[in-house]
Amino acid sequence: MGPTTRRMGFPGGLRAQLLLGLGALLLAMLTLVSITFVHTTKRQLQQASLGHAQALAELLAEQAGGADTFESSSLERFARAGSLEFAAVETAEGAAWQSFGPGALHEALEGLDGERTYRVLSHAGSPHLLVATARQVQGRRLRAAVGVSLAPVQAKIDEAEALVLMYLFVDMLFIIIVGYAFFTYLVVRPIRAIGVATERAAGGDLASPIAFLPGNEFGQVGRSFNRMLGELENNRGVLEERLRVIEEAQRSLVRAEKLASVGQLSAGVAHEVGNPLAAILGYTDILRDRELEEEVATDILDRVQVQVERIQKIVRELLDFSRDDSEEAVEPTDLAGCVEEALHLMSAHPRARHVVLHKSIEAGLPQVAAVHSAVVQVLVNLVVNGADALAGAELAGEQAAVWVEARRGGGERGDVVVSVRDNGPGISAKAAGRIFDPFYTTKEPGAGTGLGLAISLRIMQRFGGDIVVGQAPEGGALFELVFRAA
């Protein structure tokens, strides 16, 4: 699996993201402007109400100063004429207030003093402004107070806030509509055209350039993309021609390799079969002599039989090499049992009598995909090769030995490895490169056909495994059979 990708940022497409960001910015700006406007309007209306109430309070004080007494009826007429909720006068310093209006406002007069003062209080569920003023009239200090309802002012403030909210809504709606069209034409449409052309190009269609090319940076990208498509289309023909030439050359190399393999196989067969045939021809010429003693003739016939058996062995191994053994079912196989059987067979083999055989099998090895008899065949062949390499080798006083070890291998497949190594002279780098070629052998003439390792490699490859050849760290040849777990 490929790596997992995760979408980051705001949900939705580019257009929605841009509109969301711009809308949030404009909403914050318009909200700030609207708050400032409402606050300023509210302050102006309150200041106007305060100035009007102060003027009425001074007028009431002036009227009260021109009369010795000021009746309640006069306060009522003054209040009604000025659309006041409350009116009161103090005709002499320390005298009681004469008032007209709600008693709650009259009680609030006690908190007013000084030349000119005011306070806002709530009465009957609506705000009221209470203003008091003091002045000297004919040597007397008079105080007058008026109370006005701020309900009309609050109604105007509420109306202004409603108008501002409507203004915000209309502005945002207009901005969203205009911004949608703007971003669609200048941003989304060019990007979508580039995306469609890119998908077509990825699918191999290089003849579909971008048609919508605005006069901005997106248009420059589109024109550059169209130029790239043109160059790719031109280069594709050149690449296809070069690929055709490469494929033709590859087919020629395969044919040459096949011919070389046939020639190498033929040369090997001619060499391996030619030698015993030449010996047989020589022996038959000797047998033509009628004066041969019977004992000599019998010895010659025995020699001819040996050469014929040698030819028979070569032909049998050739048949084994070319035989299609795919009918043998690959099944879960116990490698430990294969190793035990191969070493048991080798313990009685005449070519391994001078060799000490060692084994090491890791506990709990999983079964592998293989054929039991074929694995035993490969192991026997490798142990025999090791024993042959040790025959006559100078070991500096060491005992000739072959080690067979089975263990878990590395890798993600959970491979199992069986290694066969000896303490002989080892394998040269030149020989390691050709050691699996048919009829290639490092043994003396007549001692081997050179087909054993080629057959072993083919068997391992049929199992989905491999054979790795190298030099053991302790010295000597090292062959590793790599099996895949069943």
Residues whose CB is less than 8 angstroms from the CB of residue 244 and which lie 6 or more positions away in sequence, other chains included: none
The answer to whether 416 and 373 are in contact (CB under 8 A) is no
Q: Are residues 88 and 33 in the same domain?
A: yes
Q: Are residues 256 and 375 in the same domain?
A: no
DSSP 8-class letter at 485: B
pLDDT value for 5: 44
Q: Are residues 272 and 410 in the same domain?
A: no
Q: Are residues 303 and 354 in the same domain?
A: no
The answer to whether 283 and 308 are in contact (CB under 8 A) is no
- Residues 78, 130: Cα–Cα separation, whole Å: 16
DSSP 8-class letter at 3: P
Read off the tokens for 183: 């971003």
pLDDT value for 4: 45
The answer to whether 70 and 98 are in contact (CB under 8 A) is yes
Read off the tokens for 233: 């289309």
Total count of domains within the chain: 3
277, 306, 323 - which closes a domain: 323
pLDDT value for 253: 62
Q: Are residues 353 and 477 in the same domain?
A: yes
- Residues 65, 142: Cα–Cα separation, whole Å: 7
* Angle separating helix axes 452-462 and 294-322, nearest 10 degrees: 30
115, 137, 166 - which closes a domain: 166
Reference 59, options 153, 146, 147; nearest CA is: 146
| Strand 401-408, strand 356-361: pairing | parallel
Q: Are residues 352 and 457 in the same domain?
A: yes
Q: Is residue 210 part of a domain?
A: no
Q: Is residue 6 part of a domain?
A: no
Q: Are residues 126 and 155 in the same domain?
A: yes
Cβ neighbour number for residue 365 with a 10 Å cutoff: 19
Starting at the earlier edge strand, list the strands of the sheet with 116-123: 98-100, 86-90, 140-149, 126-137, 116-123
Residue 123 forms beta bridges with which residues?
Answer: 126
Q: Are residues 308 and 419 in the same domain?
A: no
User: Residue 129 sits in which domain range?
Assistant: 15-166
- Residues 269, 423: Cα–Cα separation, whole Å: 32
Q: Are residues 272 and 360 in the same domain?
A: no
pLDDT value for 318: 61
The answer to whether 478 and 470 are in contact (CB under 8 A) is yes
The CATH number covering residue 362 comes to 3.30.565.10
The CATH number covering residue 237 comes to 1.10.287.130
Reference 95, options 39, 136, 52, 142; nearest CA is: 142
Coil, strand or helix at 92: coil
Reference 383, options 400, 396, 397, 398; nearest CA is: 400
Q: Are residues 148 and 280 in the same domain?
A: no
pLDDT value for 333: 92
Number of residues that this document lists for the chain: 486
Work out the widest C-alpha separation in the chain, in whole angstroms.
188
Q: Are residues 316 and 374 in the same domain?
A: no
Q: Is residue 391 part of a domain?
A: yes
From first to last of its 486 residues, the chain has per-residue pLDDT tens of 444 444 444 455 666 767 777 778 878 887 888 888 888 888 888 888 888 888 888 888 888 776 656 677 788 888 888 888 888 888 776 677 788 888 877 777 776 665 668 888 888 788 888 888 887 767 777 888 888 888 888 888 888 888 888 888 888 888 888 877 877 777 777 777 777 777 777 777 776 777 667 677 777 777 887 878 777 777 777 888 888 888 888 777 656 545 554 555 566 566 667 777 888 888 888 877 777 777 888 888 888 888 888 777 777 766 655 555 555 688 999 999 999 998 888 887 777 778 899 999 998 899 999 999 889 989 988 998 888 888 877 777 788 899 999 998 876 677 899 999 998 888 888 888 777 887 767 666 555 567 788 888 888 888 888 999 988 888 889 999 999 887
Cβ neighbour number for residue 326 with a 10 Å cutoff: 8
Q: Is residue 146 part of a domain?
A: yes
DSSP 8-class letter at 247: H
DSSP string over 296-330:
HHHHHHHHHHHHHHHHHHHHHHHHHHH---TTSPP
Residues whose CB is less than 8 angstroms from the CB of residue 391 and which lie 6 or more positions away in sequence, other chains included: 351, 354, 400
Read off the tokens for 63: 């009227």
| Strand 416-422, strand 477-483: pairing | antiparallel
Read off the tokens for 148: 């006005």
| Strand 466-471, strand 368-370: pairing | unpaired
Read off the tokens for 434: 């050709």
Q: Are residues 143 and 267 in the same domain?
A: no
Q: Encode 86-110: b = buried (16+ Cβ within 10 Å), e = exposed.
A: bbbbbbeeeeeebbbbeeebbebbe
273, 295, 323 - which closes a domain: 323
Cα torsion at 221, 226, 228, 234 (round to 10°)?
-170
DSSP string over 335-399:
HHHHHHHHHHHHHT-GGGTTSEEEEEE-TTPPPEEE-HHHHHHHHHHHHHHHHHHHTT---TTPP
Q: Is residue 44 part of a domain?
A: yes
The answer to whether 373 and 380 are in contact (CB under 8 A) is no
DSSP 8-class letter at 442: -
Residue 126 forms beta bridges with which residues?
Answer: 123
